[in-house]
């Protein structure tokens, strides 16, 4: 079953909810591109308010081809020079007008991707086609030159009434019986994110009934919590096409995403064969991610996302019909606790090294002996002298005694 976000994506500018001014500005930029002052338009605003879908809707309405480039393709200077030069300079097949869309431009970092933005700006200046960039927050100082070189078009946060109207319309199209209170409550919870609202509606209306009780099971939609919705689609979906894009807008650190997958896979995939296939995809994704971190090969990012979404989704023979509550892993907490414990040991070793004129490495090897001394002589004179000599604070003393 396809996602509501795909089924009800706007097909023309009039179907874009609540962004009339922004869409009209974008339409004028595209249709009058040759006479425009700027060679690119920068669409900015919160997640899920219609930036990318507006570009696709206008492309269909105006009969333009569209070439989308994700910011992960722009992770180094060579990629931009080779790919963008061709994309921005070549005519489309059958001479159809073309829009070049560069999505999520604010994902380019200032240090790891040094040189990308200046090269991108040079490529845009030579473009013979409208270039449209999207960003959630382009107001970092590193994007100043890019903002100045683009027509800035704001897509504002949607009012809850606009979201509620869209949800009610989708319910009517899908034959979903809904409670008005449920629609209004969900519209307020998503805080302007229409895409998130449609995903929540689809999750809560599988039986063609949408009630306030189901809405109450959803937490306020925070970006870090959307991982549970993404996992549900990946694990429960019967179509890899549905699972493929669900991680695109999940604002969770990639390392944490691997932990979420590892923690919850055994809860959903209950047979050894299915679980083995799923972990094979997870392991392959980890290999690619390791190469990204070690060698900055950002072109592998698309493989990581595909393996974690469509790959793991395709591993199952059939979906688990039981409801599964997804939980974050405790491994992060344990890692933090170990780090705190090790940090305290390092602090004590540093003080010991300074007093004994040895290296911190040698001092760390002596810490277990001090722990034994503190445990056996809690109030002894020797311990009191050591506390004074090493200038130990109460937390360090407690750590040695435990």
Q: Which long-range contacts (CB under 8 A, 24 or more apart) does 61-66 make?
A: 61/11, 61/12, 61/13, 62/27, 62/30, 62/31, 62/97, 63/96, 63/97, 64/30, 64/96, 64/97, 64/98, 64/99, 65/92, 65/93, 65/96, 65/97, 65/98, 65/99, 66/98, 66/99, 66/100, 66/101
Q: Where are the domains of the chain?
A: 7-154, 158-221, 241-329, 332-401
Neighbours of 140 (CB within 10 A): 13
Q: How many CA atoms lie within 13 A of 266 on its CB side?
A: 4
- pLDDT at res. 241: 76
Mean pLDDT by groups of 10 residues along the chain of 402 residues: 84 90 95 91 91 94 84 59 61 71 73 66 83 87 88 92 92 94 90 88 88 75 61 83 78 82 91 94 93 83 91 89 78 64 82 88 87 72 82 84 78
Compute the distance between CA of residue 252 and CA of residue 227 in angstroms, rounded to an integer: 7
Sign of the alpha-carbon dihedral angle for 226, 227, 230, 232: negative
- Tokens 């081809």 -> residue: 65
- pLDDT at res. 245: 82
- pLDDT at res. 191: 84
At the topology level, CATH places domain 158-221 in Helicase, Ruva Protein; domain 3 (1.10.8)
Three-state secondary structure call for residue 68: strand
C-alpha torsion 188→190→194→195, nearest 10: -160
Compute the distance between CA of residue 197 and CA of residue 84 in angstroms, rounded to an integer: 34
Compute the distance between CA of residue 62 and CA of residue 53 in angstroms, rounded to an integer: 14
CATH number of 7-154: 3.40.50.300
């Amino acid at each position: 079953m396809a996602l509501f976000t795909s089924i009800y994506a706007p097909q023309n500018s009039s179907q874009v909810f609540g962004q009339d001014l922004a869409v009209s500005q974008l339409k004028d930029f595209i249709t009058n591109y040759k006479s425009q002052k700027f060679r690119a338009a920068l669409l900015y605003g919160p997640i899920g308010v219609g930036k990318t879908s507006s570009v696709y809707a206008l492309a269909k309405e105006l009969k333009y081809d569209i070439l989308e480039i994700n910011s992960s393709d722009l992770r180094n200077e060579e990629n931009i020079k080779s790919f963008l030069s061709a994309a921005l300079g070549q005519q489309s097949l059958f001479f159809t007008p073309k829009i070049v869309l560069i999505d999520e431009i604010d994902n380019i970092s200032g240090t790891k991707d040094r040189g990308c933005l200046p090269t991108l700006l040079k490529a845009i200046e030579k473009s013979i086609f409208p270039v449209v960039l999207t960003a959630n927050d382009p107001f970092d100082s590193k994007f100043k030159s890019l903002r100045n070189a683009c027509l800035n078009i704001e897509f504002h946060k949607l009012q809850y009434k606009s979201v509620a109207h869209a949800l009610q319309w989708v319910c009517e199209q899908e034959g979903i019986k809904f409670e008005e209170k449920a629609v209004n409550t969900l519209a307020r919870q998503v805080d302007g994110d229409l895409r998130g609202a449609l995903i929540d509606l689809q999750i809560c209306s599988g039986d063609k009934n949408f009630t306030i009780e189901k809405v109450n099971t959803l937490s306020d939609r925070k970006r870090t919590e959307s991982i549970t919705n993404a996992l549900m689609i990946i694990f429960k979906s019967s179509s890899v096409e549905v699972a493929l894009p669900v991680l695109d807008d999940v604002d969770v650190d990639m390392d944490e995403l691997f932990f979420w997958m590892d923690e919850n896979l055994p809860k959903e995939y209950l047979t050894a064969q299915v679980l083995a296939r799923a972990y094979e995809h997870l392991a392959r994704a980890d290999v690619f991610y390791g190469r990204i971190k070690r060698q900055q090969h950002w072109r592998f990012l698309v493989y990581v996302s595909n393996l974690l979404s469509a790959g793991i989704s395709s591993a199952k023979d059939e979906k688990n019909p039981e409801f599964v509550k997804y939980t974050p892993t405790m491994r992060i907490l344990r890692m933090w606790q170990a780090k705190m414990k090790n940090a305290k040991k390092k602090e004590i070793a540093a003080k010991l090294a300074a007093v004994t004129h040895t290296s911190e490495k040698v001092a760390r090897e002596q810490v277990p002996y001090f722990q034994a001394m503190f445990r056996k002589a809690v109030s002894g004179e020797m311990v009191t002298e050591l506390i004074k000599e090493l200038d130990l604070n109460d937390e360090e003393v407690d750590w040695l005694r435990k």
